[in-house]
Amino acid sequence: MPELPDVEVFRKYLNRTALNKKIDKVEVRDNDILSDHSARSLQMQLKGKKFKATKRRGKYMFVKFDKNAWLVPHFGMTGFLKYYKDEDKETEHARVVFDFTNGYKLAFDNQRKLGKVDIAKGVQEFAEKNDIGPDVLEDDFDLGKFKEIMDKKRGIVKSALMDQKSMSGVGNIYSDEILFRAGIHPASKTERLDNKQVKKIFRALKTVLKKAIEAEVDPQKMPSSYLLPVREEGHKCPECSGKIKSSKFSGRTGYYCGKHQKQLS
């Protein structure tokens, strides 16, 4: 599933392309993609409207098209957006296509069909209904708030960072990067972290996510001292002379440096 930086890149893409363009029609090419409304209802609600604003909370993107009406695309594993004019530019797995009166289209492409398109009354309402915690990049998500959340957590630190109910945005890939930067082993027990370590993780959390957005989530555009460009078993650690290792943590394959990331058990 795309994580906060991926969704932020999609959001910015939509802002640059499809915002404030009048919608002529909506083509639903695969009804399975719609959560709890019909293609006809989507078509009727959107025809003649414009995408007026976008927001993001954690891994979710919201596109406002009317008063108290937001489109919520879920990208699944493989979803993305494409804005284009010529038919030959159309993507292979376009499931929903928004046609604008200017002749352009916005396709919601989803190869593995794990994505969905929802409609919500508002960001807050959707977040409450789906139990989505505060967005970790919000300004008011500060060290105090982070510490308060981490103090209540038990179990391994990687899972704590990925728990969307407590704080939203971080998934498998960026939790690895954050812990790599903070020098903490992913399987460290959360209750063993001291204040200094919690602060280090918090700082890494903000820095890593911002850097990933700047790099437009291209691992090769990330700083060379980061884990992402070398996220592969046996690779030399860019921070020390250690080797990159991988392991299963709560069912997810994580990567870390076997040397500079200390485990607190």
CB nearer to Zn ion: pick between 74 and 158:
158
In whole angstroms, how close is the CB of 231 to Zn ion at the nearest point? Answer: 13
In whole angstroms, how close is the CB of 179 to Zn ion at the nearest point? Answer: 12
**Residue range at the interface with Zn ion (CB under 5 A); choices 102-110, 129-137, 138-146, 229-237:** 229-237
Our finding on whether 211 is near Zn ion (CB under 5 A) is no
CB nearer to Zn ion: pick between 116 and 231:
231
8-state DSSP, 226: S
Do residues 122 and 150 lie in contact, with contact meaning Cβ atoms separated by under 8 Å?
no
Tokens of 214: 């700047």
CB nearer to Zn ion: pick between 182 and 257:
257
8-state DSSP, 174: H
Among 48, 151, 240, 250, interactor with Zn ion by CB under 5 A:
240
Do residues 132 and 168 lie in contact, with contact meaning Cβ atoms separated by under 8 Å?
yes
Tokens of 172: 């498998």
d(CA 129, CA 125) in angstroms, rounded, equals 6
Our finding on whether 184 is near Zn ion (CB under 5 A) is no
**Residue range at the interface with Zn ion (CB under 5 A); choices 18-26, 148-156, 182-190, 240-248:** 240-248
d(CA 42, CA 225) in angstroms, rounded, equals 46
CB nearer to Zn ion: pick between 50 and 245:
245
> DSSP letter string over 142-158?
-HHHHHHHHHH--SBHH
Q: Pattern of binders to Zn ion over 136-175, x per CB under 5 A?
A: ----------------------------------------
Among 193, 237, 254, 255, interactor with Zn ion by CB under 5 A:
237
Count of residues of this chain found to bind Zn ion when the rule CB under 5 A is applied: 7
d(CA 29, CA 39) in angstroms, rounded, equals 9
8-state DSSP, 84: E
Distances (CA, A) of 129 to 123, 126, 180: 10, 5, 33
In whole angstroms, how close is the CB of 258 to Zn ion at the nearest point? Answer: 8
Among 191, 239, 247, 264, interactor with Zn ion by CB under 5 A:
239
Q: Which residues of 2-11 are buried (b: 16+ CB within 10 A; e: fewer)?
A: bbbbbbbbbb
CB nearer to Zn ion: pick between 138 and 239:
239
Q: Pattern of binders to Zn ion over 241-260, x per CB under 5 A?
A: -x--------------x-xx
Do residues 29 and 95 lie in contact, with contact meaning Cβ atoms separated by under 8 Å?
yes
In whole angstroms, how close is the CB of 237 to Zn ion at the nearest point? Answer: 3
H/E stretch holding 96 reads strand 94-100
Our finding on whether 238 is near Zn ion (CB under 5 A) is no
In whole angstroms, how close is the CB of 261 to Zn ion at the nearest point? Answer: 7
**Which residues form the interface with Zn ion (CB under 5 A)?**
237, 239-240, 242, 257, 259-260
